[in-house]
Amino acid sequence: MQREEGSVLMIAMLTITIITLICATSLYVISQDSTATTQTTAWQQALAGAEAAVDHGINALNTGVWTNVTGNNDNWYTVTGSLPTSKPRGGSTANAVPGNDNYNYYFPPSLSLQGEACNSVSMWVTIDNANLPLDTNGNQAYRIRGTGQVGAPGPRRVSNQKMDNDLRKISLIYDRLSGAAVTGGQPMATRRIEVVVVPTAQSMWVRGLLAQHQIQMSGGGWIDSFDSSSGFKSTNGLYDVTKRQSHGDIATNDSVSADLKTFSDLRNTYVYGSIQYSGPAIKNITNVQGTVSTPFATDIPIPADPSWASGTYTTVAAGNPGTLNPGTKSHPALYKMTGNFTVPGGNVLNIPAINPGTDNNYVTLWVKGSFTISGSGYVNQGANVHVTYYLDGDVTVSGSAFLQAGTAYASNNQMIAVGTGNTTPTLTVSGSGNYIGTIWAPIYGITVSGTANLSGAFIGNNINISGGASVHYDEALKNLIEGNSTGNFAFASWFEDNSDPARGIIY
Amino acid sequence: MKISRQRRLGLTLAEITMSLTCGGIILAAVITAGVALQRSFAAVEGYSIAEGDQLRIQDYIAMDCRRAVSATVNSTTNTLTLTVPNYYDASGNPQNPTYSSTYGIQYGSTGGTTTIKYYRSGSNFTREVAGVAKPIATNVSTFTVTAQDLTSSVTCSITFAPRFTNLPGPGPVAGTTVYCNTFLRNAIARQ
């Protein structure tokens, strides 16, 4: 009897032990699953904090509000030195954008959350200029680093999702970015986003063609776009059909002619972009690759003649001035011609680059009479010389009438056709060659004939393109800032730093 | 007359039958419950692992798509190739942004990019960084990248084979498919 009772006890103990082990293993695995879930959730929540922090940075740049940001006496601070790897500290209250040797930082209010993982997301954001150069308009780009941090509830150990560890990089004991011990021994999920923002402008050069009235296309040309500021979308700053973009948009406020006799007709021209219009439907738009929408209404700015004070400009005789020397960017050379401007075949108007610097040669020529460049005549423009023409009479040029040394940019050749005293002014581009520039002629009837390639952007009253001429809208013109005013900031680069230097993991 | 104590201590046939029956029922219940619990545990664990794999793949692809300057798809091999800027120097430290008239914002004085690829290799799902491949999920049966508008977004679908297959008819589903559609934030910022 004793041996039988002992056997029962042992069997009972063994059974209890096995059941206990099974339960313990199950609980351990479930605990690991729970840890994996909370760590995953915390990692995903941290992204919301990082992005919110970046938004705070952009808001500060756009509004210029650096103090009492949310009305709770919370301020940005400025610190001299390079960006920290951990939470920024110290410094004095900021009241402006950071300069070359300092950065601004801010701790936005925490985000409250509900659900799994932590119930609060903390964040901070820094802004510096990273010694980025000024853009062509003299405006500064900025680097914004937003960091979001969320506590990951649970033990300080990796989860059973081993492959998660290379992605989420939860800071269990040491912060993965700073290397310092985590605050309060609490595991943390940290995510950091770095963006570079650049100033943008409310430019009217946001589409290839903009007309007050009708647009006519024929001859087999096409409308598309490129970006002279991007090597991916141009070749050496010039249009390249193999890098064609699809932002060659066109628009008209009223698709019928002013005399109500002629309607806009694209004659199945390929348009690699969208169309916006008001008035009667534009005809033959089968080959429009983008969207066609109506209505459309925009106030096309009407240019005016310059108002130069006496003594600030040079008067030149009618005909061909021969040579016009530029001034500097801050003091452009101003020339006024009261007669007709003419560069006949075999003649050249030289506008050389004479001032030091890559962006320091500016000329403005105001022609009260007609503007004609005929035959093989042309304007020989030095490298990166900016020329602005104010024109009041009729304009007749050939596609190859403007030769820019080095890379030819549309923003360097601006034709502002005012048409003062001219009730029905015309602007004609004929022949072959590449016309690279902008034409702002809202009361002019623009006619493009021949096989010229037009690169830039064009604004007219009526626009008639025939003979196979094509239009290539330069997307870089969107950043052309009239009056050098700065609009809002926009992303130029976006990157998440998910590295773990201590483990040698960078991507 | 003496009364036999042995006979009084014994169990009647009815008692033994009853006790064996009860014991058998209890044992059967315990075994059945144990098996059921183990099956349930295996199913839940399989679900948890699959869920973790799915989230991990989606998070990896989303993170890399957001920071890529360009994306390409090889529809023959179903490979998604992302190009990200060289944010880190040779020592793994973040570099300062610089401006290039050709490439816009780049990192470091020389710029450059790093290639990240996603593809299925056997039943593993692989992430390859600069030629170094590493599995990031298992039990993957298909991977499809939708080559739609690669200038603005990338759409992927990944089908996972079922992990827990010991089910009564009609049996497990053929697979679980997850989709991710990610906005190419960095690429868009450069357009």
- Could you tell me if residue B1 is inside a domain? no
Contact B88 A33 (CB under 8 A): no
Q: What is the mean pLDDT of residues B65-73?
A: 91
Tokens standing for residue A40: 């995953």
Residue A138 pLDDT > 70, yes or no? no
H/E segment holding residue B119: strand B113-121
- Could you give phi then psi for residue A68, rounded to 5 degrees? 50, 55
Across A291-305, B13-27, B101-115, the highest mean pLDDT is recorded for B13-27
Looking at chain B, which residue has its C-alpha nearest residue A230?
A: B102
The answer to whether residues A156 and A185 touch, using CB atoms and an 8 Å cutoff, is yes
Res. A432 pLDDT band, cuts 50 70 90: confident
Would you say residue B2 lies in a domain? Answer: no
Q: Is the pLDDT of residue B165 over 90?
A: no
The per-residue pLDDT of chain A, averaged, comes to 88
Q: What amino acid is encoded at A409 in this protein?
A: Y
Give the Cα separation of B127 and A188 in Å (integer): 25
Which token pair is A267? 């004659």
B189 close contact with A: CB closer than 8 A = yes
Structure tokens at A221: 């040309």
| pLDDT value for A456 | 93
Residues β-bridged to residue A256: A263
With CA atoms as reference, report the closest residue to A72 among A35, A110, A39. Answer: A110
Number of domains making up chain B: 1
The verdict on residue B141 lying in a domain is yes
| Residue contact B104–A229, C-beta within 8 A | yes
The B residues from 30 to 89 touching A (CB cutoff 8 Å) are: 38, 41, 45, 48-49, 52-53, 55-56, 59-60, 63, 66-67, 70, 84-85, 87-88
| Res A467 pLDDT > 80 | yes
pLDDT of residue A106: 97
Q: Nearest 10 degrees: CA dihedral of A228, A234, A240, A244?
A: -100
Render pLDDT for A62-118 as a digit per residue (tens, 0 to 9): 888 999 998 888 999 999 999 998 899 999 999 999 999 899 999 999 988 877 778
Average pLDDT in the A4-32 region?
Answer: 83
Residue A266 pLDDT: 92
- Is the pLDDT confidence value at A459 over 90? yes
The answer to whether residue B155 is domain-embedded is yes
Cα–Cα dist B135/B128, whole Å? 8
Judge whether B178 is closer than 8 Å to chain A, CB to CB. no
Taking CA atoms, A16 is separated from A9, A29, B24, in Å, by 10, 20, 18
Q: How much is the pLDDT for A230?
A: 83
Assess if residue B105 is contained within a domain: yes
pLDDT at A486: 46
Nearest chain A CA: its distance from B1 CA (Å)? 28
Contact status, residue A270 vs residue A407, Cβ threshold 8 Å: no
Which stretch of DSSP H or E encloses residue A403?
Answer: strand A402-404
What is the enclosing helix (H) or strand (E) of B64?
A: helix B13-67
Q: Which residues of A touch B (CB under 8 A)?
A: 22, 26, 29, 33, 36, 40, 43-44, 130-133, 141, 143, 161, 163-164, 166-168, 194-196, 227, 229-232, 237, 475, 490-499, 501, 504, 506-507
| Range among A274-283, B118-127, B159-168, B169-178 rated most confident | B118-127
B134 touches chain A (CB under 8 A): yes
